[in-house]
Structure 1
Amino acid sequence: MSKPEPTSVENIVGSADLIVSKSDAEGNITYVNPIFIKISGYSQGKLIEEPHSMLRHPDMPKVIFKYLWDNLKEGRDVVAYVKNLCKNGSFYWVLATVRVAKNPDGSFRNYLSTRKCITDSAKKTISSLYADLLAIQQSDGVESSENMLNTFLAEKGVTDCDSFNNLMIEINK
């Protein structure tokens, strides 16, 4: 499936909107709620069994998804800001909480992602950070972008995934 050409039109995720999806171990979508369908512009049939990355906006630095997947694969839940691309080329910002769901026997069941609106202040802070990370990625590669992210996190006192998640939540206040 080819991605739409991004536009400068933002779809606002409202304070009452909660976007929910589930995915398998590879990140392929297995469930979406009606809000997800409405905001993304895709039908349920076009979303199911597709990778979540189909919604990835080109403004998103790869290092954010590397951080997310590195932690999820270690069984840690992650809270992160995501700019997604809609079917019509517009975009929307969300604060995503991705949880590892397990079966009663402790085996992996799926990833459950809930996404909510972000504040204008958070959008400004994260947009700037992501633009810097993306610029470094494009000029010097993902590893340099990761070094920049690690420096930013260290300056904020982030030492592990829990403190990362707390910082993301704090930025959204």
Structure 2
Amino acid sequence: MKNKISPTQQEVKLPAQDMIVTKTDLTGRITYANRTFMRISNFAERELLGIQHNIVRHPDMPRGVYRFMWDTLKSGREFFGVVKNMTSEGHFYWVFANVTPDLDVNGKTIGYFSVRRPPPADMVRAVVPLYEAMLRVEQQAGPAKAPEASLALLEQTMAEQGCSYDRFVLGLYEKSR
């Protein structure tokens, strides 16, 4: 079970040359975490292995983004996204995440492999208003309907822009480089 951590307003910056790498099983339980992840999140390996990856979920992240991620992964596709995570002290850090299905020799998904790097500041600034709108929709919808409600807003917003969330995020990354 996830510990209740109170968020702070202190940001932890992932150094430009660093990449966070984790692997999970099919249910999102961590099976591998690199030292960069442990250092940035300030969790020891023993606190991470076998624990749900959402141990670092920041409450500012809309549940609809995670619903989109899981839908994408379960369809066998890779996910790209901008994610605000939380350290063991409640500090926050942003990542540009790429999550892919981890396949066995027969092509069967056995888990997920994730690589996260620091996102350009423009990328974060571009998603914050969208995420804030999604969070407002989630609050109005209530806990049981929150993920579907904010996912619907995400899909509507992306349809208005003529692209998918993945394309939107990749486009932001390309513009920021």
TM-score per shorter chain, which class?
A: over 0.9
Query: Does the 8 A contact of 2:69 with 2:79 survive in 1?
Result: yes
Query: Does the 8 A contact of 2:154 with 2:165 survive in 1?
Result: no
Deviation at 1:146, TM superposition (A): 2.1
Deviation at 1:44, TM superposition (A): 0.7
- 3-state DSSP class of the match of 2:51? coil
Report which stretch shifted further, 149-158 or 27-36. 149-158
Cα distance in structure 2, aligned partners of 1:24 and 1:144 = 27
Once the two structures are superposed, the pairs formed by residues 55-74 of structure 1 within 5 Å of their partners are 55-74=56-75
Please state if 1:156 is matched with 2:161: yes
Residue in 2 that maps onto 1:171: 172
Show structure 1 runs of 4+ deviating over 3 A.
Answer: none
Listed one character per residue, the Cα deviations across residues 102-130 of structure 1 (whole Å, up to 9, x for unaligned) are 11111223200000111111111111111
Once the two structures are superposed, the pairs formed by residues 130-141 of structure 1 within 5 Å of their partners are 130-140=131-141, 141=145
Report which stretch shifted further, 143-152 or 80-89. 143-152
| TM-score using structure 2 length | 0.91
Query: Does the 8 A contact of 1:3 with 1:54 survive in 2?
Result: no
Query: Does the 8 A contact of 1:81 with 1:94 survive in 2?
Result: yes
- 3-state DSSP class of the match of 2:85? strand
Once the two structures are superposed, the pairs formed by residues 91-110 of structure 1 within 5 Å of their partners are 91-110=92-111
CA RMSD of aligned residues (A): 1.2
Cα distance in structure 1, aligned partners of 2:43 and 2:151 = 32
Cα distance in structure 2, aligned partners of 1:115 and 1:3 = 24
Residue in 2 that maps onto 1:145: 150
Cα distance in structure 2, aligned partners of 1:171 and 1:151 = 18
Cα distance in structure 2, aligned partners of 1:121 and 1:31 = 30
| TM-score using structure 1 length | 0.93
Gaps of 5+ in 1: none
Letter of the structure 2 residue corresponding to residue 64 of structure 1: V
- 3-state DSSP class of the match of 1:104? coil
Listed one character per residue, the Cα deviations across residues 119-166 of structure 1 (whole Å, up to 9, x for unaligned) are 1111111111111100111012423322211111012212xxxx4323
Residue in 2 that maps onto 1:12: 13
Cα distance in structure 2, aligned partners of 1:144 and 1:103 = 34
Once the two structures are superposed, the pairs formed by residues 43-122 of structure 1 within 5 Å of their partners are 43-122=44-123
- 3-state DSSP class of the match of 2:116? strand
Residue identity over aligned pairs, in percent, reads 33
Residue in 2 that maps onto 1:35: 36
